[in-house]
Amino acid sequence: MPYKDPYREYLRQYEKRMNQGEHLKELHIIWRNQNRQKVIAQGKEAKRKFKEKHPELVKKQAHARHASAKIPMKDYCELCPEEDNKEKKLTRHHPDYDYPTIFVTTCPICHRWITLEELYESEKVCRGNDHL
Ligand SMILES: [Zn+2]
């Protein structure tokens, strides 16, 4: 009987699990496409719950959006490296809603990243094992 290297066996299993993960991701995308109405309804429900939980924040966000709408954005993401900066949809990130006209132009990916970083810093969100 040939010798089986346990590490190699582990890697083989790992690869198998990862491939299953890819398969599950594909299934999830197919499910989302087939159940668009359900996905939209869940999104609306999540928005409603957030509004109910953070009414002041939602008000401030709306005010900041309105107050800064007429101020032109830069035509590039201020956080991305230059070579990644082309042909992206851009958004305004408000570091502080008390100053609604001060914002940073970001792409959606940087916007999500910077918002999560701020949440982690304010300890509103637990980042994995950081609390241990
Ligand atoms: Zn960016």
Tens of pLDDT, residue by residue, the chain (132 residues)? 566 677 777 777 877 777 777 888 888 899 999 999 999 999 999 999 999 999 999 999 999 999 999 999 988 888 887 666 666 789 999 999 999 999 999 988 888 888 888 877 776 655 554 444
Q: How far apart are CA 83 and CA 91, in angstroms?
A: 18
What is the 83 CA–ligand 1 centroid distance (Å)?
A: 11
Question: Which pLDDT score, from 0 to 100, does residue 66 have?
Answer: 94
> What is the pTM (predicted TM-score) of this model?
0.60
- Which protein residues have a CB closer than 5 Å to ligand 1 (ion)? 77, 79-80, 107, 110
Residue 107 burial (CB count, 10 A) = 19
Question: Which pLDDT score, from 0 to 100, does residue 68 have?
Answer: 92
Question: Which pLDDT score, from 0 to 100, does residue 25 have?
Answer: 83
Q: Which H, E and C letters describe 25-89, residue by residue?
A: HHHHHHHHHHCHHHHHHHHHHHHHHHHHHCHHHHHHHHHHHHHHCCCCCCCCCCCCCHHHCCCCC
User: Cα angle vertex 48, ends 42, 53, to 5°?
Assistant: 125
What is the 22 CA–ligand 1 centroid distance (Å)?
A: 26
What is the 37 CA–ligand 1 centroid distance (Å)?
A: 30
Question: Which pLDDT score, from 0 to 100, does residue 59 have?
Answer: 94
